[in-house]
Homo-oligomer: A and B are copies of this chain.
Amino acid sequence: MSGINVGVLGSNGKVGQAIVAAVEAADDLTYSAGVDKDDALTTFTDTQTSVVVDFTHPDVVMGNLEFLINNGIHAVVGTTGFSADRLDTVRGWLAANPGVGVLIAPNFAIGAVLSMRFAQQAARFYESVEVIELHHPHKADAPSGTAYRTAELIGQARADAGLAPCPDATSQELDGARGAEVSGVRVHSVRLAGLVAHQEVLLGTQGETLTIRHDSLDRSSFAPGVLLGVRNVAAHPGLTVGLEHFMDL
Contact = CB atoms under 8 A, between A and B. Distances in A.
A203 B210 CA distance: 16
A122 interface: yes
Contacts of A194: 128, 204-209, 215, 217, 221
Interface residues of A, number: 78
B217 A142 contact: no
Number of this chain's copies in the complex: 4
B176 A176 contact: yes
Interface stretch (A2-10, A43-51, A162-170): A162-170
A192 B178 CA distance: 11
Contact of A137 (B169, B215, B217): B169
Interface string A81-114: 0000000000000000000000000000111001
Interface stretch (A62-70, A183-191, A234-242): A183-191
A141 to B, nearest CB: 5
A25 to B, nearest CB: 10
Contacts of A204: 192-195
Interface string A108-146: 011100110010011001111110101001111111000
A175 interface: yes
Interface of A: 22, 109-111, 114-115, 118, 121-122, 125-130, 132, 134, 137-143, 148, 166-182, 186-196, 202-221, 223-224, 228, 247, 249
B187 A181 contact: no
A125 B247 contact: yes
Contact of A193 (B115, B179, B206): B206
A140 B167 CA distance: 12
Contacts of A115: 210
Given A208-B217, A210-B213, 4 more contacts: A110-B208, A141-B170, A194-B206, A211-B214
A26 to B, nearest CB: 11
Given A190-B130, A211-B213, A180 B169 contact: no
Nearest to A140: B171
Given A118-B118, A125-B114, A174-B143, A192 B209 contact: yes
A202 B182 contact: no
Contacts of A139: 169-170
Contacts of A129: 192
Contact of A208 (B109, B177, B249): B109
